[in-house]
Amino acid sequence: MFEVIDAHERKGNGFDDLTGRRFGKLTVIGLSAKKVGRKSYWVCQCDCGNKHLVRSDSLKCGNVQSCGCLKVEQDNINLRRSTHGDTVGGENRLHRTWQGMKQRTTNPKNKSFNRYGERGITVCDDWLDYEKFQSWALSHGYNDSLTIERIDVNGMYCPENCTWIPARDQATNRRSTVWIEWNGEIKNIKQWSDYLGINYGTLHSRYYRSGMRPPELFEPVENKKIPR
């Protein structure tokens, strides 16, 4: 069942050698001799000590992150949490934030999966445990008016890459956001508009329609002279 073969035997168009890579609690040992259709299987070592056979796509999309022990651990956490009133119907906002973070990174049926899990955005191992995520959140200024934000929009959910910001500011940190550097500072168009007191529509039109760049982009708007 756990026979490993040389991954080079299957190298070809689109083949991705996963040997040595880590997915959740699983570390890929090598390519399995098992193959069904075009799907490859990998022999993985779980942190708990068990070996587990997992299909390539299940590893990459995050559907399988342990030999099964992670679900047992999570069930135990849920049992403890339900004792302390931290689930439905007493589920709090922070717990919903945690659930949402996991769903959009691991569940292909989630409406936001294509922008997260499909792009390789994952949740760090520690934060798969709600109590560890909760501890970080409460010690880093969380309150119910804030939303979790990844500093690097291409990075994972982890303590080093996350912070809490007002929900209204969430839209300023998207992949499509243009960041402009000038005089040693980096801001997006909305932030430069607020900082310089120049109308956002003016800056947006200058940047996208006229192709202006600093310093021309930030020149004060001239008042039109009224003919006498």
- For the chain, list the strands marked E by DSSP: 4-5, 22-23, 26-36, 39-46, 51-55, 146-150, 162-166, 179-182, 185-188
Query: Which is more confidently placed, 23 or 77?
Result: 23
Q: Which tens digit of pLDDT belongs to each residue from 161-172?
A: 888 877 655 555
Note whether 109 and 203 are same-domain residues. Answer: no
Mean pLDDT, residues 99-124 taken together = 92
- Indicate whether 113 belongs to any domain: yes
Note whether 150 and 189 are same-domain residues. Answer: no
- Indicate whether 227 belongs to any domain: no
Is the CB of residue 146 less than 8 Å from the CB of residue 165? yes
Note whether 136 and 201 are same-domain residues. Answer: no
- Split into its structural domains, the chain has a count of 3
Note whether 165 and 76 are same-domain residues. Answer: yes
Q: Which tens digit of pLDDT belongs to each residue from 28-61?
A: 999 988 887 778 899 999 998 899 999 988 898 8
Which of 60, 81, 97 represents a domain boundary (last residue)?
60
Tokens at residue 93, please? 């906002």
- Indicate whether 93 belongs to any domain: yes
The pLDDT assigned to 129 comes to: 94
Note whether 56 and 36 are same-domain residues. Answer: yes
Note whether 19 and 49 are same-domain residues. Answer: yes
Q: Which tens digit of pLDDT belongs to each residue from 67-98?
A: 888 777 666 655 555 544 454 444 589 999 99
Average pLDDT over all residues of the chain: 81
% the chain with pLDDT above 70: 81
Kindly tell me if the per-residue pLDDT of 13 is higher than 90.
Answer: no
Kindly tell me if the per-residue pLDDT of 3 is higher than 90.
Answer: no
Note whether 161 and 104 are same-domain residues. Answer: yes
Note whether 166 and 194 are same-domain residues. Answer: no
The pLDDT assigned to 76 comes to: 61
- Indicate whether 110 belongs to any domain: yes
| Closest CA relative to residue 124, chosen from 184, 62, 72, 180 | 62
- Indicate whether 223 belongs to any domain: no
Kindly tell me if the per-residue pLDDT of 8 is higher than 90.
Answer: no
Note whether 55 and 84 are same-domain residues. Answer: no
Note whether 114 and 95 are same-domain residues. Answer: yes
The pLDDT assigned to 90 comes to: 40
Which residues make Cβ contacts (< 8 Å) with residue 62, sequence separation at least 6? 23, 24, 105, 106, 117, 122
- Indicate whether 150 belongs to any domain: yes
φ, ψ (nearest 5 deg) of residue 187: -145, 160
Note whether 54 and 141 are same-domain residues. Answer: no
- Indicate whether 228 belongs to any domain: no
Note whether 163 and 212 are same-domain residues. Answer: no
Domain span at residue 155 reads 69-172
